[in-house]
Amino acid sequence: MKLRLCLSVVSLVFLAGCATVRNPVTGQYERTVMDERSELAAGQKAHQDVLKEYRPLDTPALQAYVNSVGQKLAKASHRAHLDWHFTVVDSPEINAFALPGGYVYVTRGILAYLNDEAELAGVLGHEIGHVTARHASQRATRQQAAGVGVLLANVLGSVLESKGYGGAGDFTSQISQVTAAGYIASYSRDQELQADQLGAEYLAGNQYDSARMIDVIRMLKNQEQFGQDIARQEGRALAPRVDWLASHPSGDKRLEDIRQTALLHHNPQAASGRERYLKAIDGITFGESREEGVTRGQQFFHEPMGFALTAPQGWRIQNTSNELTLLNSTGEAALTMRIVPTSAGATHADIVRTVFNPVSGSTTQATINGFSATHFVGVARVQSGTQTVDATLITGPKQQNYLFLHIAKNAAILQREREALLGVEKTFRAMSEKDRILARPWRIKQGAFPAGGFAQLAKRAPAALANAEAQLRLLNGAYPDGMVKPGSLVKMVE
Ligand SMILES: [Zn+2]
């Protein structure tokens, strides 16, 4: 949850007309709605939107390092003349994406799982490939030909497909995921394969072993495997993913495809840059960040805002950019919490009027752990007519107002779960000193692999890290059962 509005798809560059351009990769002429100039303009504009949604990670040395690897690859690409930008964004999602014109992004989430510079180069090379082969422009042109219209929604589609999954095994909002998945406008299978091939080519052109592309795909495949294993253990359905895994099939077919290409330029002597890479990412945040709030077991802490909440046993806490959701054990009812902007009004009564525009309803006042609260039950005017609403406003620390909305599958369940939802609201409190210790963000640290293996490494991990042994295996490319030599340098969580 952050104090920012979600990515606006409205502020898109308007494009019209058709041109013919020569594809820098294939040399073929193609009909397009985006020539290089409009590609650059679109990229520049969308880059600003991306920065509104994703904060660049505040680690200049790491940014410079990723940029240097990216620039090297871009210089050996089919569009070396573009003004390339490489940005590490502060997100736990496992993701990488690119915008037309030469803007490439990797999340700190994916960096945690990569094992060396060659794998990083593999990810960057793949994204550079999407740019050099003009994939977004091709997609936009196809869609316009098909009468779909909004062109750059596609460009931002490649950003939106990244919403949702937290790398540290935390849960994310199924509701938000499904919504975001609706926007996914992924590249075609052929485009993905071409990006893999180009990535492998750019690796080879920079003294990396192109076969390392295979390890990147394998890392994604292991993430997918882990997700399935955990879902099975917990006896729940696998939530749809909307990150790099969703848009980049990591199945055996892709592995097979890339194996053939990557081995063409295979260079087993090439340096992996492992030590340099591990040093560069040493100390980066793993999982949720202080700024967005952290989930620790059944507790949620938002240090900058100074509040804490506790979910009952069996409930799930889902922390996404726009809201915090506490989902009950059956998944049929939830409490969502949002930050109320000051523009919505100064008093609870004002806010109820602005947010719900009620037809009818009543409010009751209460105090929750010293904070003033107003509960509203009534009928609100919504776009499609009217809707029954059950909601609570709380003025928390720093005079910030929060809106808690009760949601359920149907009215009967809403009624049945009412007391439980109100009970969760009552756990809203100012953070204590003890909470502040629990809310400390986790970090990736390098260290020597112990003789006791991953089980021993897991003992050094924070107690609240779920499935610690499996997570550490994933982080070190050893999931589900890989071996690591004692004494060798590995990543740990602390
Ligand atoms: Zn791709």
- The residues, ordered by sequence, that sit 6+ positions from 46 with a Cβ below 8 Å of its Cβ are 12, 13, 99, 100, 103, 152, 155, 156, 159
Q: Which of 275, 259, 272, 273 is nearest to 213 (CA)?
A: 259
For 392, phi then psi, to 5°, come to: -135, 135
- Domain residues of the chain, as ranges? 19-284, 294-436, 443-493
* Interval between CA 138 and ligand 1 midpoint (Å): 14
* Interval between CA 361 and ligand 1 midpoint (Å): 50
* Interval between CA 88 and ligand 1 midpoint (Å): 17
* Interval between CA 127 and ligand 1 midpoint (Å): 6
* Interval between CA 357 and ligand 1 midpoint (Å): 44
Q: Which residues surround ligand 1, an ion (CB under 5 A)?
A: 192, 195
* Interval between CA 82 and ligand 1 midpoint (Å): 19
* Interval between CA 393 and ligand 1 midpoint (Å): 43
Residue reference for tokens 């004692």: 486
**CA-based Rg of the chain, rounded to a whole angstrom?**
24
* Interval between CA 363 and ligand 1 midpoint (Å): 51
| Token pair of 397 as six digits | 């620390």
| Token pair of 450 as six digits | 């112990």
CA 37 and chain centroid, separation:
30
8 Å CB contact between 210 and 203? yes
Tell me the whole-structure pTM to 2 decimals: 0.81
- The residues, ordered by sequence, that sit 6+ positions from 407 with a Cβ below 8 Å of its Cβ are 333, 334, 335, 336, 414
Class of domain 294-436: alpha beta
pLDDT on residue 245: 61
Q: Please tell me the distance from the alpha carbon of residue 334 to that of residue 329, in angstroms, as a whole number.
A: 9
8 Å CB contact between 358 and 381? yes
Q: What is the pLDDT along the chain (494 residues), one digit of tens a residue?
A: 443 322 322 223 334 456 778 888 888 888 776 788 888 888 888 888 888 778 899 999 999 999 999 999 999 999 999 999 999 999 888 888 888 889 999 999 999 999 999 999 999 999 999 999 988 777 666 655 544 333 333 333 333 333 322 222 222 232 233 223 223 346 777 888 888 889 999 999 999 998 888 888 888 888 888 888 888 887 776 665 545 666 666 667 777 877 877 777 788 888 899 999 999 999 999 999 998 899 999 999 999 999 999 999 999 898 876 789 898 888 888 999 988 888 888 999 999 998 888 999 999 999 999 999 999 999 988 777 788 889 999 999 999 999 999 988 888 888 999 999 999 999 999 999 999 999 999 999 999 999 999 999 999 999 999 899 999 999 999 999 999 999 999 999 99
- E-assigned strand segments in 157-243: none
